[in-house]
Structure 1
Amino acid sequence: MEKISLLQQERAKYRPKLPAIFTGEGSVLAVERGKTESVDDQETVRTLFSKTYGLPLISFEPSEKISLEPVNVGVILSGGQAPGGHNVISGLFDGLKALNPENRLYGFLGGPGGLVENKYRELTADMINTYRNTGGFDIIGSGRTKLEKEEQFDKGLENLKALGIKALVIIGGDDSNTNAGILAEYYQKIDAGVQVIGCPKTIDGDLKNEMIEVSFGFDTATKVYSELIGNIARDALSAKKYWHFIKLMGRSASHIALECGLKTQPNITLISEEVEAKGMTLGDIVDEIAGTIAKRAEKGKHFGIVLIPEGLIEFIPEMKALIGELNDVIAHRSSELDSKDNPDEKRSLVSSMLSEKAGALYVSLPEDIADQLIMDRDPHGNVQVSRIETEKLLIEMVGEKLKALKEKGMYTGKFSAQNHFFGYEGRCAAPSNFDADYAYALGYTASALIGTGKTGYMSSVRNLTAPASKWIAGGVPLTMMMNIERRHGEDKPVIRKALVDLKGKPFEMLKKHRDQWAVETCYVYPGPIQYFGPEDVTDQRSETLTLEHE
């Protein structure tokens, strides 16, 4: 029998808060708020999504209690885990039961692949109650199978019909919700009679726009990482002998690094988007870090904290161009590369397939980094940047730079470094009160979209810095967030990732203080997530969300 911790026992008693629209005795009415268009490439996206393009934004208004026929609904957890996933399913379940107690919810096991392979379980009240307010995706599991081929759609539809399922909710990030949009379009075209609704999930924080203020999981994950960074900062201040290079999750955007930087005030917080905007080389980054270390050494401070976004290497312009060429090479000539077992031969073959400039850069890299750049791509065709040990590369290069400065008499300190990568530590934490409430509200909103007959929408809950009762629930068309990007060597419709806004208030706050934080020791120690106590502590919003809504 599984042992339940005391904390988990207490968290099971927590009742997530809901927007006021869902706490009345009646039903809700969907109100359309005007037509929409995609964020870019409008003509192309409209052509690809002729049935679901231009849908209106949806908000909800109260109405009299409406009696609805019972419906069976399916749910999928897609992609990497994020704190709050279980609460989305709990909110969806409770919302469906509020619509009609005879409604039934089926979870497809192991992600989108479960839909195609017909692996599922019915989610009952007893099962749901076991998972409320817990971290992880283990209630049904997750996976990274991409739903992009018609044979997958048809097989999935066959399985949905066998279970009498009329609506499918896909909980995932930008790629997973892109697939949800494609699936919604296909089912509309063939008049399948199945609604498709998405929910915004990713700890990276890169799925957001004017209608999606933040994805669930970001708040909890950054609080977990910030606790760890604060602990390391306290250790650095105590021992006074190590520089800690900490890589943080965030492949395509630096939201996690920025949030943790604002929370803990380390000496250096690298922001990938700024590196790209300034056209910085790897050497420029090394010079900046080494310069800060030298300045602190002059004050007798031979310790510090450096935060590094996971995807930094992809934002260095020279490296970004190289990776772009590598993506095309691996997409179209993988069989040739697979034929080479010897690493030296494989690197030589890769360099011969690249342009002269990219090839020269590739062969100049340390062999371990060069090998990591040509590892198998993830299911979306992206470099698996979590495997690229950028933090170790920077430690090595900074060490060499400091030796050169010492020879010139420009540095007299001692440099000892420790490397860390915080990723999985934050993905399945018990959700903060904010994420528990927000995720539950997203699930409940998804049930309302189903109840009002919508398809091709993402569940949206806004006004998140206000009390939960004042949150605004609605739906945003999946096509509204799309543009056309190069994937696997082909142009594909995808939901646009939200990068750090270099003119936004969160980055401006970092920019305002970072020179001071670099040389002085201004560390903040957030401590662990608080679930019980004063609301200004337990329900504290992220620095990013707070600043964006000032």
Structure 2
Amino acid sequence: MNISALQKERAKYQPKLPKSLQGSAKLVEGEKTKSVANQKEIEELFPNTYGMPLIAFEKGEEQKSNSPVNIGVILSGGQAPGGHNVISGIFDGIKRINPESKLYGFLGGPGGLVDHVYVELTAKKIDEYRNTGGFDIIGSGRTKLEEEWQFDKGLEIAKDLDLNALVIIGGDDSNTNACVLAEYYLKKNAGVQVIGCPKTIDGDLKNEMIETSFGFDTATKVYSELIGNIQRDANSAKKYWHFIKLMGRSASHIGLECALKTQPNITLISEEVAEKKQTLGEIVDYMASVVAQRADNGDNFGVALIPEGLIEFVPEMKKLISELNDLLAEGTETGKEFKMLKKSHRREWVASQLSPDAANLFQSLPSGIANQLTLDRDPHGNVQVSLIETEKLLGEMVKTRLAEMKEEGKFSGKFNTQYHFFGYEGRCAAPSNFDADYCYSLGATASVLVSEGKTGYMASVRNLTAPAEEWIAGGVPVTMMMNMERRHGHMKPVIQKALVELDGAPFKYFVTKRGEWALGTHYIYPGPIQYFGPSEICDLPTQTLKLEQA
């Protein structure tokens, strides 16, 4: 392989482990669990995996002799920094359990399991990918494991390879599917365990047992570096407002963390918009007022952070999108009819199928935004918000509002915009020290859960603001995190997404500062992620974790 000088040095980094994983781990079972909501429905759907106890590891006695553990690993969904270290943590973990253990990687995501496409991951292969970003060691995919025939195909190859377990590395939907698979294999007494690992840069797979999903730390550091660079440019040229959309479909954790790291002039938080039932007009008025007040101070520049999924949290837009998701759902008669129409006729037809309020809003949107709202749905049946140019919509609306304010004598400055979308730039970055350690610990945790015969669990590593040696490893039943939600027009069990808590410490701190950041120029320039140097710089957790656990 052709590798850079940084990669050569980075390959030497040895991730740190919690004390409980540095030798033989002793399992301690806690209280039995129940789902966060819809307990009756979830228990009926998961009779074999519902109510299992929480698990924590403690440092055990000397390493005992164990039988080999064979695991198949799957990378599912979008990339996140640290996936390769989860796999290397699994590999090293099962080799510590027994050197004869084997690890197989299914290629291209869950589809590799169904299609029986795999590769054995050897020490030589693993060593090429330690501490690197991306999922390219085996590739990822978005095939959903939902049908029994898929489960049965997976069982065939699991038996052929003599696998004890499958480890699925993914987000909330992927881990929900992992739990469905675990339930099915238990029901059939198939003898194949299923363990999940919490992955998503969005940061919305979190709870008391999953303090953060892996990749969030690295991605927000990469985005914050880029935001800092743009803030430096804005403060140098002093002539542009930069509207920056940040990845994070269902929650504003990325935007909030980046704001805490960089202190921009405007940061919109989707959850606050929903709580206050703000209209698009009210959001635009707020942004225009900040632009005007800065102009009064002679500052015709600034930086605004916009969450990717913002429009889904604006009540009027949320209602419209909900109606569109049902109208254009895959397999429905209306969805089929829509696809048969000429593109020039689609907007009028859609408006005719919506409720009056939704139709009026849909017709009032710029044609480009309206078209983006009717594009093909994502694998979960929802609008693909990453394709909607919310930053440009808001920029144009602010421009129009400022023109009105100028006529009213309320704005005398200049307003020129630059637009950015930071998403893919952070998904495959080389993991920070924190993510390198965290992911390696998650992999090692998964290997122990498998060796102890557990299934339907997600690997959990907690106490993350402490040094890595003091982290608490264990497992949390996936059913504990579930509720029922509407998907593709039907109620389905899914892991509940964690949104920004408006009464939580990170948001409350942000609120105390945003007025000051709006009118002044208090930018912070984080610079590149630092891997080498004092641990006070290299090993810092996110601002979100520090404020939550202060």
Rounded Cα–Cα distance in structure 2 between residues aligned with 1:150 and 1:324: 29
Tell me the SS of whatever aligns to 1:105: strand
Indicate the SS of the match to 1:33: strand
CA distance in 1, matches of 2:353, 2:109: 36
Instruction: Supply the distance in 1 between the matched residues of 2:175 and 2:69 (Cα, whole angstroms).
Output: 23
Q: Give the letter aligned to residue 539 of structure 2.
A: D
> How much has 1:166 moved relative to structure 2?
1.6
Unaligned runs of 5+ in 2: none
- Indicate the residue corresponding to 1:466 in structure 2: 466
**Secondary structure in 2 matching 1:168:** strand
SS at match of 1:165: coil
Q: Report the residue type matching 1:264 in the other structure.
A: T
Select the residue among 308, 316, 323 that pairs with 1:325: 323
1:44 aligns with 2:41: yes
Q: Write the deviation string for residues 56-105 of structure 1: whole angstroms up to 9, x where unpaired.
A: 00112314432222132100000000000000000000000000100000
Return the alpha-carbon distance in structure 2 between the equivalents of residues 281 and 511 of structure 1. Answer: 20
Q: Where does structure 1 lack aligned partners over 5 or more consecutive residues?
A: none
- Asked whether the 8 Å contact 2:106–2:119 carries over to 1, the reply is yes
Q: Partner of 1:368 in structure 2?
A: 368
| 2:512 counterpart letter in structure 1 | K
**Offset at residue 541 of structure 1 (A):** 1.1
- Root mean square deviation, CA, Å: 0.8
SS at 1:34's partner residue?
Answer: strand
| Distance in 2, Cα, partners of 1:75 & 1:190 | 21
CA shift, 1:29, in A, is 2.5
Paired with 2:389 and 2:162, the residues of 1 have a C-alpha distance of 48
Deviations 1:297-323 (A, max 9, x none): 000000000000000000000000111
In the TM superposition, what whole-angstrom CA distance separates every residue of 1:251-307 from its partner, at most 9, and x where no partner exists? 000000000000000000000000000000000010000000000000000000000
Native 8 Å contact 2:481 2:495 kept in 1: yes
- Matched with 2:70 is 72
Contact 2:69 2:451 in 1 (8 A): no
Determine what percentage of the aligned residue pairs are the same residue.
69
| Alpha-carbon distance, 1:32 to partner | 1.1
Query: What does residue 80 of structure 2 align with?
Result: 82
> What is the Cα deviation at residue 438 of structure 1?
0.2
Q: Which amino acid aligns with 2:470?
A: K
AA aligned opposite 1:346: R
- Give yes or no for contact 1:326–1:374 (8 Å, CA) kept in 2: yes
What TM-score, normalized by structure 1, do the two folds share?
0.98
User: Aligned partners of 1:50, 1:438: CA distance in 2, in Å?
Assistant: 32
Provide the C-alpha distance between the structure 2 equivalents of 1:380 and 1:150, rounded to a whole number of angstroms. Answer: 18
1:200 corresponds to which residue? 198
Contact 1:29–1:452, Cα closer than 8 Å, also in 2: no
The residue aligned with 1:305 is 303
CA distance in 2, matches of 1:422, 1:85: 20
Question: One-letter code of the match for 2:53?
Answer: P
**Aligned 8 A contact 1:225 1:260 in 2:** yes
User: Deviation at 1:336?
Assistant: 0.5
User: Mapping of 1:224-243 within 5 angstroms?
Assistant: 224-243=222-241
For residues 122 and 525 of structure 1, the distance between their equivalents in structure 2, rounded to whole angstroms, comes to 43
Give the alignment partner of residue 254 of structure 1, picking from 249, 252, 255.
252
Matched with 1:60 is: 57
Aligned partner of 1:289 among 287, 292, 300: 287
Q: 1-side partners of 2:25 and 2:524: how far apart?
A: 44
Given that 1:79 and 1:142 are in contact with CA atoms closer than 8 Å, whether structure 2 keeps it comes out as yes
Question: How far off its partner does 1:420 sit?
Answer: 0.2
Correspondence 1:543 to 2:540: no
Offset of residue 159 of structure 1: 1.5
Distance of 1:543 and 1:28 partners within structure 2: 31
Q: Where in structure 2 are the equivalents of 1:53-202 lying within 5 Å? A: 53-61=50-58, 62-202=60-200
Residue 244 of structure 1: which of 220, 242, 245 is its match? 242
Distance in 2 (alpha carbons) for counterparts of 1:431 and 1:476: 24
Contact 2:485–2:491 (CA<8 Å) still a contact in 1?
yes
The alpha carbon displacement at 1:148 in A equals 0.5
Q: Which residue of 2 aligns with 1:4?
A: 3
How many Å separate the matches in 2 of 1:163 and 1:350?
Answer: 50
Cα deviation, residue 401, structure 1: 0.3
Give the corresponding residue for 1:14. Answer: 13
Tell me, in whole angstroms, the C-alpha distance in 2 between the residues paired with 1:115 and 1:63.
37
Q: What amino acid maps onto 1:337 in structure 2?
A: F
Which residue matches 1:336?
Answer: 337
Aligned to 2:411, the other structure's residue is in SS state coil
Q: Quick one: which amino acid aligns to residue 173 of structure 1?
A: G
Determine the C-alpha separation between the residues in 1 that align with 2:501 and 2:8: 40
Counterpart residue identity of residue 462, structure 1: R
* Cα distance in structure 1, aligned partners of 2:217 and 2:460: 17
* One-letter amino acid matched to 2:143: T
Measure, in 1, the Cα distance between the counterparts of 2:68 and 2:298: 71
Post-superposition CA distance 1:218-261 (Å, at most 9, x none): 00000000000000000000000000000000000000000000
Contact 2:164–2:450 (CA<8 Å) still a contact in 1?
A: no
Q: Aligned equivalents of 2:287 and 2:57: distance in 1? A: 50
1:523 match: 523
| AA in 1 matched with 2:335 | S
Aligned residue type for 2:336: S
Partner of 1:489: 489
CA distance in 2, matches of 1:394, 1:461: 39
Please list the CA deviations of residues 501-522 of structure 1 after superposition, one character each: whole Å capped at 9, or x if unmatched.
Answer: 0000100111000001000100
Q: Which residue of the partner structure matches residue 408 of structure 2?
A: 408
Within 2, Cα distance between the matches of 1:491 and 1:11? 45
In the alignment, structure 1 residue 268 sits paired with structure 2 residue 266 = yes
Displaced runs of 4 or more, over 4 A: none
The Cα shift of 1:383 comes to 1.1
Letter in structure 1 aligned against 2:451: G
How many angstroms apart in 1 are the aligned matches of 2:57 and 2:453?
13
Structure-1 residue corresponding to 2:383: 383
Pairwise CA distance, 1:346? 1.0
- What one-letter code is carried by the residue in structure 2 that aligns with 1:518? A
One-letter amino acid of the counterpart of residue 514, structure 1: R
Structure 1 residue 174 displacement after superposition: 0.4
Q: 1:459-492 CA deviation, whole Å, 9 max, x = no partner?
A: 0000000000000000000000000000000000
Shift of 1:128: 0.2
2-structure distance, mates of 1:146, 1:437: 29
What's the CA shift string for 1:380-437, capped at 9, x where partnerless?
1121100000000011100000000000111000000000000000000000000000
The question of whether the paired residues in 2 share the 8 Å contact of 1:483 and 1:495 is answered with yes
- Name the SS for the 1:199 alignment partner: strand
SS in 1 for 2:31: coil
SS of 2:420's partner is: strand
Larger mean Cα displacement after TM superposition, 370-379 or 130-139: 370-379
The aligned amino acid for 1:33 is G
| Count of aligned pairs | 546
Aligned-partner Cα distance in 2 for 1:245–1:278: 22
Deviates further, 112-121 or 60-69: 60-69
Distance 2:458 2:182 in 1: 11
Which whole-Å CA distance do the structure 1 matches of 2:3 and 2:62 have between them? 42
TM superposition score normalised by structure 2: 0.98
